[in-house]
């Protein structure tokens, strides 16, 4: 899974990137790990909340499934990342289980359709002799 960490109107240090890898990416990769998936973490200053609040946007793009977007605002960027990461994990697990249920329901419908329709036609039987003629 690809991880992209960006700052909005601020610089993001290596510590926040490592924290995102350990507390969001690692737990997520335990139950969903795809090379084509992308987790985007955007950290910035929140406007209109008074004081110095940090806003974290998490966007998880899973190919073949819905894209999940989570937003959290707290005074500390690490606390916002923790809260948003927990919500992202719960939401991603729900989405993956839903898509698996839909896939298994589709497979059951296909199996029922195959059982109800004749698959093999009755063909005339031909007996071939293996003896040599003299």
pLDDT above 80 for 1: yes
Nearest CA-CA partner of 75 in 53, 49, 55: 53
What are the angstrom distances between the C-alpha of 64 and each of 67, 83, 96, 131? 9, 26, 10, 59
Confidence of residue 61 (pLDDT cuts 50, 70, 90): very high
Which parts of 23-134 fold into alpha helices (H)?
A: 26-31, 77-116
Long-range pairs, 70-75, Cβ under 8 A, ≥24: 73/46, 73/49, 75/51
Structure tokens at 16: 């926040």
- What are the pLDDT digits (tens) for 99-121? 777 777 777 777 777 666 665 56
Residue 81, classed as helix, strand or coil, is helix
Percent of the chain at pLDDT > 90 equals: 42
pLDDT above 60 for 27: yes
Distance between CA atoms of residues 9 and 114, nearest Å: 58
Q: What is the DSSP letter of 46?
A: P
Structure tokens at 89: 């994990």
Residue 133, classed as helix, strand or coil, is coil
Whole-number pLDDT of residue 111: 74
């Amino acid at each position: 899974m690809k991880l992209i960490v960006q700052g909005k109107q601020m610089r993001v240090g290596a510590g926040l990137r490592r924290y995102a890898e350990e507390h969001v990416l690692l737990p997520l990769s335990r139950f969903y790990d795809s090379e084509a998936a992308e987790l985007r973490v955007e950290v910035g200053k929140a406007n209109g909340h008074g004081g110095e609040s940090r806003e974290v946007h998490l966007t998880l793009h899973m190919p073949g499934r819905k894209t999940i977007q989570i937003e959290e605002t707290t005074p500390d960027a690490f606390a916002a990342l923790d809260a948003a990461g927990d919500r992202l994990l719960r939401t991603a697990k729900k989405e993956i289980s839903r898509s698996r249920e839909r896939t298994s329901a589709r497979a059951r419908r296909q199996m029922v359709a195959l059982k109800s329709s004749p698959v093999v036609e009755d063909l005339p039987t031909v007996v071939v002799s293996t003896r040599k003629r003299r």
